[in-house]
Amino acid sequence: MSYKEPVVMQPGDVLHGFAVKRCEAITLLQATMIELEHEKTGARHIHIACSDTENAFGVVFRTVPRDSTGVAHILEHTVLCGSRRYPVRDPFFSMLKRSLSTFMNAFTASDWTMYPFATQNPTDYYNLMGVYLDAVFHPLLDLLSFRQEGHRLSLEEDRRLTYKGVVYNEMKGAMSSPPQIMARALLQALYPDTTYRFNSGGDPQEIPRLTYDGLKEFHRFHYHPSNAWFFTYGHLPIEEHLAFIETWYLSGFERIDPKTEVPSQPRWKTPGRAFAAYPLAPGEDGSRKHQVCVAWLLSDIRDTFELLSLSVLNDVLLGNPASPLRQALIDSGLGSALSDSSGFDADNRDTFFACGLKDVSQEDAEKIETIIFDTLGRLYRDGIDKEMIESALHQIEFHRKEITNTPYPYGLRLLLGISATWIHGGDPMRILDIDADMEKLRAGAIDGRLLEETISRYFLENPHRILFTLSPDSEMNDREAERLARELETIRNGLTEADVARIETLEKELEERQQNQEDVSCLPTLHRSDLTDDIRIVEPSSKDVAARLTCYEQPTSGICYLTVIAGAGSLPGRLLEGVPFLTHCMTQIGTRKHTYLEIARMTDRCTGGLSAGCHVRTLHDNTKDCLALFQLHAKCLNRNIPQTLDLMTELLCDWAFSDMARLKNLVLEYHAELEASIVDSGHRLAMSRASANLSRTAALSERWGGIEHVRWMRSIARDPSPRVLEKLSETLSEIADALLHRSNIEIALVGEKEAIDASIALSGMLENGLPEDCGENGFSAPKFEIAETALPREAWTTATTVSFVAQAFRTPTMDHPDAPALAVIAKMMRSLYLHREIREKGGAYGGFAAYNPEDGLFHLASYRDPRIAGTLEAFRGAVDFIRSGQYAESDIDEAVLQVCADIDKPDTPAMAAKKAFFRALIRLDDATRKRFKENLIRMDRARVLQAAEAHFRDALDHSGVAVVSSDALIEAESPALPDGFRWRVQAI
């Protein structure tokens, strides 16, 4: 089905029961927005008609919890557990196997719940729309699903009671994370009279208070078409969307008043103070582990001009290292980095802004507050530097113009951008097309004092604010465990024999249902006939080997993308571990020509983003070796190419690590970022450790981004004395010297022809600025040793109430005939076995298998998991299952669809070109990719069985195992581990 211009509609036109309210062009998006309302129910609908073939859909409900039982979150899970037309226990996860979707998920926010998807296939689009809409409007909402997804009491073998449930364990993990605790506590403090004071995800202490009847009652009012906002986007015609929605769903409803309006928070007359605690690992020094911030309640979200003004002001105040409020806080030396939740938040009916510091002493709270108000007062009195305002306006212009599908497909990014304003009665068109507001803002901010007056009104003169302190508590988890044990013991003592029998009966019924093989033939599906063996191939438009320059002419909407790569293979082992921190410093510490503040201002003024990074890739023609790469990447509007080229050249040719005060700030900031990510990234850290000795790529990846890197950085941040910093500066200089020389650079340019022509000068600028060749070619394999025979059995402890379990082993890489079968096996193990055993039965938020065809590694892992031993047993069961052959050809078909959906996921022209550039560096040719997909589409059960037997027969006997958990959980689980299994237990 091809794109056709949308039917010209006029306000008042009625189409399939929907009345057109307006039809307007969005020039920047080259699209048309059609806004409608369903006459019978009052459901709202926005359609963005454009030529994009990645069509998106979403339905949003305003969900307004009145407690912290997590009713909105648990309902989001439970409606996806079977519906009237699709009475199977898990149609959502089943559709993941039967679809070519580029995105499928559901989200619960503070006051809305969203069910979005995107796909390039028209048949798939309506298949998914039908499953989603039947789920939300006609869910089964049976008791067993509520118990599985929400919470339930269960009896252990020793007859002790325990709480189980997917959301219960998900939120136990979430509320172990300081950033999550900070965000929830700020809402509770700033909005004491509205729904935002409650934890919409669910407080683990309160989740068990939610009743099954309460869940169903919440659905009755909140999931009604009168409380629904529909969104469609792409090249498919709106007429078919509206006919589908009206005919199958809305025609059966009448209009109601759902009573879900969210009032504005009453404003205070005097400021307040608030406190919260987060768990700290036992024995860790918490004296400088506090977070302190000031937070203000700001504008109504429906005032789109104020939203834009505050967004620009946020960038001025905090957007880069030279931003005055950020600089004042960091330069104070009172903390390591901006506090969690710092910045402007426009997700609620009333917006808010927060800023402060983390890793501070509690007694410094008033000092931090004074710095914040002194800085804001000075900006109000003396005025904001107009150049900083221009830079902030430039950032908005750039990011409006850039088309990106990261982290969500572009259509869904638009939906997420308008949802909060739209559901509260604001004008979504003012979000999608901000040209008029931008002109008004520019005039007021550049020619007048608009932003200064905004500071006065919302910050200096606004009494609705709090001084907030988040404090560490090393006994918090122990106290909660004791409280929970007492609660469960009290409940257990109050149970009658009939109550116990009822719990056991329900648990048995749930287990039987989880174990049953269902007939899912009622669900729609795509077929192999819907697949093609095509792959997207992007060829360079030109390549200059001598200049080490590759150009890709692509339609990029007036944006140029520049990437400079340096090989890190020549670095001696003692320098390798410093490369990630070098990339953190490279764009933020200044050069021999400019200070870091000047570099920050130049970056915001002329680029849409400047970043450095490092990563490790496996060489396709020698999979025992890897390529270690440093990368500097910039993107800019075509008009800013000359300034961006100058900036990149300066960073690469005139680097300097001599500003010791700034270096210390960067050490503390970077370390704080790593520490804050541990709990949320526990599964990634566990997977990295489990595979660290399986390949050179995995070993260096662990040193650059795993637990080993966290501990290396902590050793520096623990004592950033002048001597330590001087040594670090010398190390960074040694690394830069070894990396940045003429023969060790590769350059990629992506953009339209005029942009490429203008950017080619970069290679000459670098050739003139970089030193002559001074060492080995870095595009060779790095030199370091790994202990391949020492497969880890490791448990790493941190402050968490859940676990993350990973097991890894070697498998062949992409060029092996069995590689397509291994990709299929990973999908089958997850969807046919691990999902049931780890999520449904075990109560973890997720369990999965992952095959990396480039590296030849296979991972089994769990996320926010209440178990360890049981999960390791499930991993072994998954291996036994895949070797058993207890699956059908239809299961192979579904897994092939899933792998093809991953392969065919669309990239923007810029991203597709960048991927092609990196494939060339690792010598992965398009013929290999094409052969992989061709063999994938021809996959059958016999080939899967053959590969399973060849590569999984004794795989777990030659695997690495790693767990991220707490001391208490590891100790409790150890007796249940297999005989002879011994942990090496360490604190992260």
- Sort residue 165 into left (φ over 0), alpha (ψ -120 to 50) or beta: left
pLDDT of residue 980: 74
Q: What is the mean pLDDT of residues 604-628?
A: 92
DSSP state of 264: P
The model's pLDDT over 462-504, given as tens digits with 9 standing for 90+, comes to 999 999 999 999 999 999 999 999 999 999 999 999 999 999 9
Is the predicted pLDDT of residue 352 greater than 70, yes or no? yes
**Residue from 35, 54, 76, 170 carrying the catalytic annotation:** 76
Range in 206-220, 650-664, 887-901, 970-984 with the lowest mean pLDDT: 970-984
Is the predicted pLDDT of residue 1 greater than 60, yes or no? no
Confidence of residue 9 (pLDDT cuts 50, 70, 90): confident
pLDDT of residue 158: 86
Range in 7-11, 569-573, 950-954 with the lowest mean pLDDT: 7-11
Q: From CA 41, how far away is CA 315, in angstroms rounded?
A: 41
Is the predicted pLDDT of residue 680 greater than 60, yes or no? yes
Is the predicted pLDDT of residue 782 greater than 50, yes or no? yes
Q: What is the mean pLDDT of residues 628-638?
A: 97
Is the predicted pLDDT of residue 775 greater than 80, yes or no? no
190 and 295 in contact (C-beta within 8 Å)?
A: yes
Q: From CA 253, how far away is CA 271, in angstroms rounded?
A: 46
Let me know how many helices (H) and strands (E) the chain has, helices first.
36, 29
407 preceded by a cis bond (ω within 30 of 0): yes
Is the predicted pLDDT of residue 307 greater than 90, yes or no? yes
Q: What is the mean pLDDT of residues 599-621?
A: 96
Q: From CA 332, how far away is CA 668, in angstroms rounded?
A: 13
Is the predicted pLDDT of residue 790 greater than 90, yes or no? no
User: Tokens at residue 505, please?
Assistant: 């009966």
pLDDT of residue 786: 82
Range in 412-416, 514-518, 532-536, 670-674 with the lowest mean pLDDT: 514-518
Catalytic residue flag (residue 76):
yes
Is the predicted pLDDT of residue 4 greater than 70, yes or no? no
Is the predicted pLDDT of residue 6 greater than 60, yes or no? no
pLDDT of residue 468: 98
pLDDT of residue 318: 98
Confidence of residue 788 (pLDDT cuts 50, 70, 90): low
Is the predicted pLDDT of residue 573 greater than 90, yes or no? no
In 148-267 the beta strands, taken as DSSP E runs, fall at 152-155, 161-164, 228-234
pTM score, whole prediction: 0.95
Q: To the nearest whole percent, how much of the chain has pLDDT over 90?
A: 93
549 and 763 in contact (C-beta within 8 Å)?
A: yes
**Which residues pair with residue 550 across a beta bridge?**
543, 748
Range in 64-73, 732-741, 780-789 with the lowest mean pLDDT: 780-789
Q: What is the mean pLDDT of residues 379-404?
A: 96
Distance between terminal CA atoms of the chain? 53
